[in-house]
Structure 1
Amino acid sequence: MSPLDVHGTEGALPIALVGAVLVALAWGVGAIFGHGRRTAAWVALLTCLAVIGWITIGLTVVQGDLGTGTVNLHWGQEIRRALDSGASAPWTNLVGNIVLFVPFGAVVALLVRGGALRRIATATVLAAALSVSIEAVQFLLGRVADVDDVVLNTGGALVGALVAAAFAGPWSRGSGPRTAETG
């Protein structure tokens, strides 16, 4: 079950927005002070992990929504429910699970050295592992561990990785070709 289902949009959305701003600031500060793009990307990754952790686990712990955990291994059940529902909460859950992992996938893809396929595969596999870990912790905290959340989170990271991989070549090489004059 998504944190948006349990806590409502008002709990997670402001945190996600603050996280997005922090990722942008980390990136900008790293570039301004000459710490390099990789350092800024590592700071952005840590920020992504903190935001994901807070939204998926931290809110549950702080609000004391501990109960008896269950597991939903019926792939597509919650996704179908969202698609068939006219209500906004299931749609928020669906979209929220995707959007939450897009920055993670993008930053990981930018940090991985190598070709586009390697960047995309690494970001996607790491996102799947992170999502499975989160679902396991949510189960231990008395929430629903849902296979659809893993699929949606991983899909979000894949989208982020695809976009980042498209820009990774120019990003990793800098703004232009290196010459004897530019170093």
Structure 2
Amino acid sequence: MPVPAALDTLDVFGTHGALPIALAGAVLVVIAWGLGSLFGHGRRTALWVAMLTCLAVIGWLTIGLTVVTHTGGTGGVNLTPGQEIQRALETGAREPWLNLVGNIVLFIPFGTVAALLTRSGLVLRVLTGTALGFALSACIEATQYLLGRVADVDDIILNTSGAFLGALAAALVLALGAGDPSSRRGRGARSEA
């Protein structure tokens, strides 16, 4: 999912709409948390709103901007793992680096929220966040190919890595007991026995 050449970091997060979507999503998460708390489901409701926000930002940056700015083309497929990653590392040019880092960073929140929504232990949370990140990225690449852009296996690798990092961070925090209601219930139940 290369960032269009005309876009720089400020443009991607400002004038092209990702920042407003993210801010609106953050407000909705807070509202959902508050309303959900009234009915006893604040955390999960807020997490689902956060997931929808992640999907909206990812969808806009990967598909929406393509639809709006792309003039068409023959598309293509790069199935050589590491080719674009190596190019970014070797050239040190700004655009390949922005693509490399951007593809990872874009999926960290997605992996985090997916892991937080998973109700089981550390390994399942990490696997769920990573697998969903992989599936979403593969769908995006297929869609980009159908829209006349190049589908790149490196984008899937980078996006999946970002989802993995987010899922791992969330799972570790929950495993350490910070914010994991089930672990507190388990400790409380053991101490009462």
Distance 1:7 1:172 in 2: 43
2:18–2:57 CA contact under 8 A, matched in 1:
yes
2:178 alignment partner, one of 157, 160, 170: 170
Distance 1:135 1:171 in 2: 35
Tell me the equivalent position of 2:140.
134
Tell me the equivalent position of 1:13.
13
Structure 1: gaps spanning 5 or more residues: none
Larger Rg: 2
Task: Please tell me the residue identity of whatever aligns with 1:27.
Answer: V
Q: CA deviation at 1:8?
A: 1.7
1:70–1:144 CA contact under 8 A, matched in 2:
yes
Distance 2:115 2:48 in 1: 11
Worse-superposed segment, 62-71 or 113-122: 62-71
SS of 2:119 mapped into structure 1? coil
Give CA-to-partner distance per residue, 1:42-101, whole Å, 9 cap, x none.
011011111111100111111243211100011101001111113211110000000100
2:112–2:170 CA contact under 8 A, matched in 1:
yes
TM-score (norm: length of structure 2):
0.83
Distance 2:147 2:59 in 1: 13
Q: CA deviation at 1:6?
A: 4.3
TM-score (norm: length of structure 1):
0.87
- By relative contact order (CA 8 Å, sep 6+), the higher-ranking structure is 1
How many pairs align?
A: 178
Tell me the equivalent position of 1:38.
44
Structure 2: gaps spanning 5 or more residues: none
How many percent of aligned residue pairs carry the same amino acid? Answer: 55
CA gap of 1:68–1:6, structure 2 versus 1, over 3 A, is farther
SS of 2:77 mapped into structure 1? strand
> Does residue 1:28 correspond to 2:36, yes or no?
no
2:119 alignment partner, one of 99, 113, 117: 113
